């Protein structure tokens, strides 16, 4: 199987390394394509060309994935996939520009250096080629999370946009404290802030531009800041009910499954 990976960043390199195929990279930065090809034992080709491949994978920033699909779909003979991180626009663009091909959208829910992990998968039009690619990723220790484009993108409003906004807000306002004053919650937030700010700013900017979620965090912070003691207690109880009810329901579900439905 011959696979063209458009985008030679960390995610494109991860995908090329995770599949069992002859891989070729194309990127605006030809040096980056050469580096990725050297890393996984692949080749380099021009971003614009007439050579076709069994599969074309778009590993570009989510803001550019629809344009990249439109530009590269004609180079795919059997399947087109993406690992951009946004699914509804990608799936729609694939259907428009490659209606006869197998079409799958993937979102690795981890940074490439933390692989393996869970991969969200939307099989818009599956078949033997994409099944083989997904099987290879599973064999590398990844867990495939089957979903829909709508479910995925709605989840990312919380999982990415709101979460990142909350952590980045803490990172911006937190001040240095003397040693010994740390609490467990502060320590955990500090760890998350350090982890997040060691990443790529453009990636986080693309997420905020693509998914809603940050406004809700800002609204909640403003409500907390304006609340009196009784109002704050009510907000705390509301938050506790949201999280503990969800956890208790999940624990009960797991217990029923483990005991065959009998919890007595």
Q: Which of 182-186, 188-192, 210-214, 253-257 has the weakest average pLDDT?
A: 253-257
Residue 2 phi, psi (nearest 5): -105, 130
Q: Do strands 118-125 and 102-108 pair parallel, antiparallel, or not at all (unpaired)?
A: antiparallel
Average pLDDT in the 37-61 region? 96
**Distance between CA atoms of 205 and 62, rounded to whole angstroms?**
10
Is the pLDDT reported for residue 78 higher than 90? yes
In the prediction, which pLDDT does 158 show? 97
Is the pLDDT reported for residue 250 higher than 60? no
- Pull the structure tokens for residue 22: 């002859």
The one-character DSSP state at 51 is -
State whether residue 41 is helix, strand or coil.
coil
Average pLDDT in the 8-27 region? 96
**Distance between CA atoms of 108 and 113, rounded to whole angstroms?**
11
Q: What is the pLDDT of residues 110-125, one digit of tens each?
A: 988 888 999 999 999 9
Q: Which of 109-113, 137-141, 189-193, 215-219 has the weakest average pLDDT?
A: 109-113
Distance of CA 33 to the CA centre of its chain: 22
pLDDT bracket for residue 261 (50, 70, 90)? very low
DSSP letter for each residue of 244-262: HHHHHHHHHHHHHHHTTT-
Share of the chain above pLDDT 90, in %: 87
Q: What is the pLDDT of residues 86-108, one digit of tens each?
A: 999 999 999 999 999 999 999 99
- Greater pLDDT, 62 or 258: 62
Angle between helices 65-72 and 88-97 (to 10 degrees): 20
Average pLDDT in the 246-257 region? 52
In the prediction, which pLDDT does 49 show? 87
9 to each of 3, 21, 34, 203, how far by Cα in Å?
A: 16, 18, 11, 11
Average pLDDT in the 40-55 region? 95
Mean per-residue pLDDT over the chain, rounded: 92
pTM value is 0.87
Average pLDDT in the 133-153 region? 97
In the prediction, which pLDDT does 260 show? 47
Q: Under 8 Å CB-to-CB from 55, ≥6 apart: which residues?
A: 1, 2, 3, 4, 21, 76, 78, 79, 80, 81, 129, 130, 133
Distance of CA 246 to the CA centre of its chain: 23
Q: Which candidate, 81, 82, 88, 141, places its Cα nearest to that of 117?
A: 141
Is the pLDDT reported for residue 143 higher than 50? yes
Residue with tokens 């699909």: 69
In the prediction, which pLDDT does 257 show? 46
Q: Which of 76-85, 197-206, 208-217, 255-264 has the weakest average pLDDT?
A: 255-264
């Amino acid at each position: 199987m011959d696979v063209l990976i458009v985008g030679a960043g960390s995610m494109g390199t991860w995908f090329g390394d995770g599949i069992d195929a002859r891989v070729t990279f194309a990127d605006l930065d030809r040096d980056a394509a050469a580096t990725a090809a050297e890393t996984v034992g692949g080749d380099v080709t021009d971003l614009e060309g007439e050579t076709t491949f069994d599969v074309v994978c778009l590993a570009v920033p989510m803001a550019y994935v629809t344009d990249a699909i439109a530009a590269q779909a004609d180079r795919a003979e059997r399947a087109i996939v993406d690992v951009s991180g946004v699914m509804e626009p990608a799936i729609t663009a694939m259907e428009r520009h490659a209606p006869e091909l197998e079409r799958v959208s993937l979102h690795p829910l981890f940074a490439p250096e933390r692989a393996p992990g869970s991969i969200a998968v939307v099989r818009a039009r599956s078949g033997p080629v994409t099944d083989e690619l997904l099987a290879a990723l599973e064999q590398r220790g990844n867990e495939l999370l089957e979903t829909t484009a709508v479910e995925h993108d709605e989840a990312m409003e919380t999982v990415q946009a709101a979460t990142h906004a909350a952590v980045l807000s803490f990172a911006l306002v937190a001040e240095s404290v003397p040693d010994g004053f740390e609490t467990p919650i502060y320590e955990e937030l500090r760890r998350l802030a350090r982890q997040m700010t060691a990443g790529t700013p453009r990636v986080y900017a693309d997420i905020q531009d693509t998914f809603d979620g940050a406004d809700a965090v800002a609204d909640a912070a403003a409500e907390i800041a304006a609340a009196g003691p009784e109002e704050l207690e009510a907000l705390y109880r509301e938050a506790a009910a949201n999280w503990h009810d969800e956890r208790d329901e999940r624990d009960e579900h797991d217990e029923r499954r483990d005991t065959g439905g009998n919890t007595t």
